[in-house]
Amino acid sequence: MPLSSVVWQISTLAFFSICGVWIRLGVLNLFDFANTDVFPLALVQLLGCLVMGFIRKLKTVQARANDERHYVEQLRRERIVGAAANGANENDHADGHSGTCNARNWHSFEYHLTHHPYLFTGIATGLCGSITTFSSWQLDIFQTAFRIPTRLPTTTSAIDLEQARLPPTHFDSLLASFNNIVVTWCVAIAGFWFGSHVARAWLALRRWRLHCARVEYMRGIDVGSTTEAAPATRFPPLNSGSPQSSRGKRAVQILAWTIAGLGLFGWIGVIVGTSLKFHWRNYNFAACFAPLGTLIRYGLARFNHLSTSSSPPTYTATAPPSSRVRRWVRQLRSLVFPWGTFTANILGTAILAVLFILGRNVFRINAAAAAQEDQYRTHAFCQFRQALIDGLCGCLTTISTLVVEVAVLLPSLRLSYIYALASLLVAQIFMVFIAGFYEWFAQPDTRVGYLNCTL
């Protein structure tokens, strides 16, 4: 791939990653209030999956059959018939263009947008993948199931208050974690299908508008008007070099170049912005690491095997051990399974588990004699840690791609259930072995007097 294409792709992914992490943090802060009926993380997953369903349906429907082309082709035939009825040459049309029409050369703005090599990837992988997050969801399930508070109390009087925020019994904690799993899955899948329905409604509206223009044009022919008086300006021109198609293509190209420039300079801008002492510094800090997580996930996507491949070669029972290992590796690689997304989600969850324990009981301080610079270093460490959680782990892991693979891309229903359950179980195993063992065995009995970071 040429260097210019690589830079263009990275800049586009960086722009949409920064926008995605800002949207996620904004929604979480907006809906994070007391006595809320729906946890804010579910709304984040709903929004990201809705956009994913919309953009993917918009592409698949137009790739399968662009319904507007059928209207254009039908219109071309009717205009030829109308021109012949008025005694004109069938190759001379009201808009002055030649009759050598190729309706397949006419595409809408949405077609060029969804078939652009960088914009569609930026929206699906960068924006939707950064809005949704798999690692924070798994940490929430882990904390709820094992009754681990989000923030350790620094005083004895705060212990009862922190315990009051947890479910009253261990059985209630398990039910709450199960409720989190079910609600998040249902919300994500419902958002994906609702987004696809919105895309279908959008395309239906476009077809209806084109149909109304066609009917208006035919009424002008039916009343006996000349071809020059026919309202042909309501349609896209139908010649092979359609100006309407060229305008849509130019608009998408300008949009792509603008987004690439904003992504490159915006990434530099948020890095510089972290040095400014504003109350939204956590947003800039998270945006610094968001493109990095998205690029890692985009690189791992090449290991997704979502199409049926040829059957692996057979080996004899007396094959040497090295041949057996190669056979297992080939069988594993030929398996229809999204290894890239699975690896990204598990890797991001493991990194989040490590960051989770780094923010708990790391700094033991004397609150009465703590130096100002020690407090500053601790605050800077907590901000850096939170930026890795929101930016790197949040964009490295995704639920929108997971939902697409489970609901659409995998060839069998059994494999979809296996993939979904494996993602949940393996992520929780990593949480238990990394964060759980430290929480249960590596910490002292008393938790008073420790300065810890909040998630």
What tens-digit pLDDT sequence spans the chain (455 residues)? 677 788 889 999 999 999 999 999 999 999 887 777 788 899 999 999 999 999 998 888 765 545 455 555 555 555 554 555 555 444 444 343 433 333 343 456 677 777 788 899 999 999 999 999 999 999 999 999 988 876 655 444 444 445 546 677 788 889 989 999 999 999 999 999 999 999 988 888 877 776 676 666 666 655 444 444 444 444 444 333 444 556 667 888 888 899 999 999 999 999 888 877 667 788 889 999 999 999 999 999 988 876 444 343 333 344 455 566 676 666 666 667 899 999 999 999 999 999 998 887 655 444 444 455 456 666 778 888 999 999 999 999 999 999 999 988 877 888 899 999 999 999 999 999 999 888 887 655 444 445 566 54
Q: Which residue has the tokens 């349609």?
A: 235
- Tokens of residue 104, six digits: 């397949």
Cβ neighbours of residue 429 closer than 8 Å, sequence gap 6 or more: none
pLDDT given for residue 291 in this prediction: 95
Q: What ranges make up the beta strands (E) of 310-381?
A: 337-338, 363-364
Residue 450 host element (H or E):
strand 450-451
* Contact call for residues 69 and 94 (beta carbons, < 8 A): no
**What does DSSP assign to residue 92?**
B
Per-residue confidence (pLDDT) for residue 380, from 0 to 100: 78
Look up the domain containing 8 and give its range. 3-451
CA–CA dist 391, 397 (Å, integer): 10
pTM, full prediction: 0.78
Burial of 303 (0-12, 13-18, 19+ CB in 10 A): middle
- 348 close to 293: Cβ distance less than 8 angstroms: yes
Q: Which amino acid is at 124?
A: A
Q: What are phi and psi of 3, to 5 degrees?
A: -65, -35
Specify the 3-state DSSP secondary structure of 338.
strand
Residue 66 CA, chain-centre distance (Å), reads 25
Residue 253: C-alpha distances to residues 1, 7, 221, 249, 349 (Å): 19, 16, 37, 6, 37
Nearest to 295 by CA among 10, 52, 20, 48: 10
Exposure of 264 in the CB half-sphere (CA atoms within 13 A): 12
From start to end of 185-286, where are the E strands?
none
User: What total of structural domains would you count in the chain?
Assistant: 1
Q: Give the pLDDT confidence score for residue 318 in this predicted structure.
A: 43
Q: So what's the pLDDT on residue 388? A: 94
Query: Computed from CA positions of residues 415, 436, 344, 335, in that sequence, does the dihedral angle turn out positive or negative?
Result: negative
User: SS3 for 451?
Assistant: strand
pLDDT of residue 241: 41
Contact criterion met (CB below 8 Å) for 290 and 21:
yes
Phi, psi for residue 337 in degrees, rounded to 5:
-155, 135
